[in-house]
Structure 1
Amino acid sequence: MSYFKFCPNCASQNIQFENNRRFECFDCGMVYFQNVATAVAVIIIRRDEMLFTVRNREPKLGMLDLPGGFTDPDETAEETCARELKEELNLNIDSERFKYFKSFPNNYLYKGIPYKTEDLIFIVECPENAELTLEESEIQSVKWIKMSEINLEEIGFESLRKAVEEHLKLYI
Structure 2
Amino acid sequence: MKALAVATCLLANGAHAADFYFCWKGSNGYTMTGQMSINPTSLNKPIVTQDDVTLFRIAGYQNERLLGKWDMASAREGASWLLNYDPARSVFMTPGEMGLGVSQAWNADGTAMDCGNPGFGFNLGNFAQDFCLNGVWVEESGMPPETPFLVSPVPVDPLCRVYAPTS
TM over 0.5: no
Q: TM-score of the superposition, structure 1-length normalised?
A: 0.27
